[in-house]
Every structure is written in structure tokens, then in C-alpha cells.
Amino acid sequence: MKIAIVTGGASGIGRAIATSLVARGDTVIVSDIDATGAEAVADRLNTLGEGKAHAASLDVTDAAAVTRLYQDVHNDHGRLDLVFNNAGIAIGGLAEELTLDHWRRAVDINLMGVVHGVHAAYPIMLEQRSGHIVNTASLAGLLPMPLGIPYTATKHAVVGLSLGLRAEASVRGVKVSVVCPGFVDTPLLADINKDLPDTTLSGDGREAIRKQPGGLYTADKLADDIMLGIRRNKALIVAPSLGRAAWRAGRLNPAAAARVTSIAVRRHRREHGHT
């Protein structure tokens, strides 16, 4: 049995990860800024009859709150085995449509939320000389993905942070992985730019994505990929298979990858009357 914390655990990928952990017998702290949602998930998971789940209210932009939760979990259980810094938001739109509020929100949650989790968990795991930090990035952190560059920039940063930390942590007994999924069917995509100024990509983007090659991957399938990646101690957990193919193609021919994404941008601009 392992002791785990999952941020953004009230829905989507976080909920699927928490479900997989409890199903295999782990104790999971389901944390989310949506405290009611986290409690509902924990209550449901506690009916599975395997591991245990506890809910915690957490705003990952609050560094002190993140440190406090991680320390409390360690103190209560005597260790902290797995941390999933997973909370995130979707930001979309053409660069000229984006305000500094879009940029700040993306950086505060998608990047600094992960930084706060690493800053809180890493010292605990160094002292234990064990543990696994799993940060959620995106395929957008590996490829040139336009039409939401604050999101893309923060996910590239999470990939770099994770791979750099993995190199440092490996000699101290601590493991680090980064998850880079393609489009996953989660509430994150149902409310792009939530509480921010509208752009041509604001609102529910799931229907448009379903029409693209590969469509939407399910959070449950991604959770299975993540569990396998953890068991294998993979540095990068890229899913689904179409996403892995796109990543490899982009590495082999970055110029071609940029041309392909430019086609999508031109189409988007035409459809929304941008010249």
C-alpha cells in the first residue's frame, strides 16, 4: 500500500488516477480547489473496498497551503510515496486575442502549481530517499502547438522541470516522471478560458476536437498508461499511440511539424474572419 496525493482530483485525469490508485489498494488524498467535488470523489472511492480516499481542499497557487497539505500527509502516515501534480486549466486563442490575464492564469496554475508541488514533496522524499513525483504536462509540451501558447509554454516548462529534476533526483533515490497526453475528454476542455476574457476558442472545445484525427482519449485509459509508466519508471509518459507517433515525427522533422500546425492556424483564422 502506498500513500499518494493527487491534485486536481475532483474530475478528469486526477479523478481517474485516484480511482486507479484506490482500486489497487493505496491510500489517496484527493485534493482540489473544488472541495465539494473532491469529497464526492473520495466518498465514491471508499465504496470500492480496496484502498482508502480522503478529500482535501487545495488551491495549488497557494504555495503555503500546498506545503502544509504535503507535510500533514507525511506526518499522518509516516511517509509520502506518490505525488501527482496534476491540477491544470485550458487556455486557448490566437496570440493577438490573449490578455496578460490569460498568461498569468496559465503560469500561476499550470506551471507554478507544479512548482509548488515539487517544492513541497521533494524535500520529504529526499529525507525518505524514496518516492515518485509525477507531473502532468501535455503533448503540447513536446510539440509546437499554437492557438493557446500560454498553455503550450507552461507545458513545455513542466516537461523541462521534470526531466531536469529527474536527473538530479535519481542519485538520491527519488523518481520523477512527466505525463504528456494528447486531447483527453475532461471538464478542462469543456470550459476553455474559464472566468477569463473570451477568444475564438473560449467555451467547450470537445466537439471540435472529436472531429480531429484520433479524437478524444478517455481519462480512464490515460490513467492505465500512467500506472504502467510509473511501474516502468518512465521519464516521459506519452499517450495515446497517435500522440506518441506525432511526438516522434516532430522530433525527426521539426520543420514539417511546424508546417502542419501552421495549416491548422490558417484554417482557424479563416473560419473566424481573421486575416
For residue 69, give the CATH number of its domain: 3.40.50.720
End-to-end alpha carbon distance in the chain? 57
Take residue 59 and report the three cell numbers written for it.
488551491
Residue 49: is its pLDDT beyond 90? no
> How does pLDDT run across 147-196, given as a tens digit for each residue?
999 999 999 999 999 999 999 999 999 999 999 999 999 988 899 999 99
On average, the pLDDT of the chain sits at 95
Give the global pTM: 0.95
Average pLDDT of span 40-60: 96
Take residue 218 and report the three cell numbers written for it.
478517455
| Listed residue (65, 78, 178, 79) closest to 125, CA to CA | 79
Take residue 56 and report the three cell numbers written for it.
482535501
Q: Please report whether residue 260 resides in a domain.
A: no
Tell me which amino acid residue 3 is. Answer: I
| pLDDT tier at 42, thresholds 50, 70, 90 | very high
Q: Please report whether residue 34 resides in a domain.
A: yes
Identify whether 122 is a catalytic site residue: no
Q: Please report whether residue 62 resides in a domain.
A: yes
Q: Please report whether residue 178 resides in a domain.
A: yes
| Listed residue (188, 126, 129, 138) closest to 162, CA to CA | 138
Q: Please report whether residue 256 resides in a domain.
A: no
> Number of C-alpha atoms within 13 angstroms, CB side, residue 182?
19
Q: 201-208 — which CB contacts under 8 Å span 24+ positions?
A: 201/92, 201/93, 201/147, 201/148, 202/92, 202/93, 205/90, 205/92
Q: Please report whether residue 268 resides in a domain.
A: no
- Coil, helix or strand for 29? strand
* Strand bridging mode 52-57 / 175-181: unpaired
Q: Would you give the distance in Å from CA 233 to the centre of its chain?
A: 17
Asked if residue 209 lies in contact with residue 90, where contact means CB atoms within 8 angstroms, the answer is no
Q: Please report whether residue 232 resides in a domain.
A: yes
Residue 203: is its pLDDT beyond 80? yes
- Catalytic-role residue among 70, 122, 151, 217: 151
Take residue 46 and report the three cell numbers written for it.
471508499
Q: Across the strands, what pairs with 52?
A: 27
Asked if residue 50 lies in contact with residue 39, where contact means CB atoms within 8 angstroms, the answer is no
Number of domains in the chain: 1
- Coil, helix or strand for 228? helix
| pLDDT tier at 205, thresholds 50, 70, 90 | confident
> How does pLDDT run across 84-143, given as a tens digit for each residue?
999 999 999 999 999 999 999 999 999 999 999 999 999 999 999 999 999 999 999 999
Cβ contacts of 55 within 8 Å, gap of 6 or more: 29, 30, 31, 35, 38, 39, 41, 42, 43
State the pLDDT at residue 213.
63
Q: Please report whether residue 148 resides in a domain.
A: yes
Take residue 4 and report the three cell numbers written for it.
499518494
State the pLDDT at residue 166.
98
Domain that holds residue 177: 3-243
